[in-house]
Copies of this chain bind each other. A is one copy, B any other.
Amino acid sequence: MPAELGDLDARLRVLEAKEEIRNLLQEYRRTLDVRDMRAFSALFASNGTWTGASGTAAGPEGIYEMLTAVLPENPPAPGSTLWHLITDPQIEVDGNRATARSLWMHVRRGDGDTPLLPTLGSYEDDLVVENGRWRFLLRSVSRLVPDDPGEKG
């Protein structure tokens, strides 16, 4: 490929990476909300790590085991179904590695069938290309409100 085409191609790859990472962040949210924890854990690299209030686990199988052990069911209506809202992320791409930062809120069906927003938190992500796809290398889930670690949010 001529040099000028190679330059355009490299710039396109950065933009495509950002779009794929946006989709990855949404897939995390979607699979978590519907409790498809097999699809959820496959969003992590083979040595990818999830760390948050539920603990720390590595690799898709380890993450699957830990989260299915501690995550409550997500009952449909009229249950207190829980969704995640995530904000537009900040993404930095450097070749086959990237970082992303975003905020999230829980939205829960509360008493009287009205929305409650009981939790605000942040995601800090390291991302990596594995087998041609962007995957989480490290997702750190922090809760900002409530601050008290004894609360489950």
Answer whether residue A16 sits at the interface, using C-beta atoms and an 8 A cutoff: yes
A36 contacts chain B at the CB level, 8 A cutoff:
no
With an 8 Å Cβ cutoff, the count of chain A residues facing the other chain is 45
Whole-angstrom distance between the Cβ of A11 and the nearest chain B Cβ: 5
Whether A146 contacts B8 by the Cβ 8 Å rule is no
Chain copies in the assembled complex: 3
Determine if B88 and A88 form an interchain contact, defined as CB atoms under 8 angstroms apart. Answer: yes
Does the CB pair B81–A144 fall under 8 Å?
yes
Chain A contacts to B: CB under 8 angstroms: 1, 4-5, 8-9, 11-12, 15-16, 18-19, 22-23, 26-27, 30, 77-78, 81, 83, 85-91, 101, 103, 105, 107, 109, 113-115, 117-120, 144-148, 151
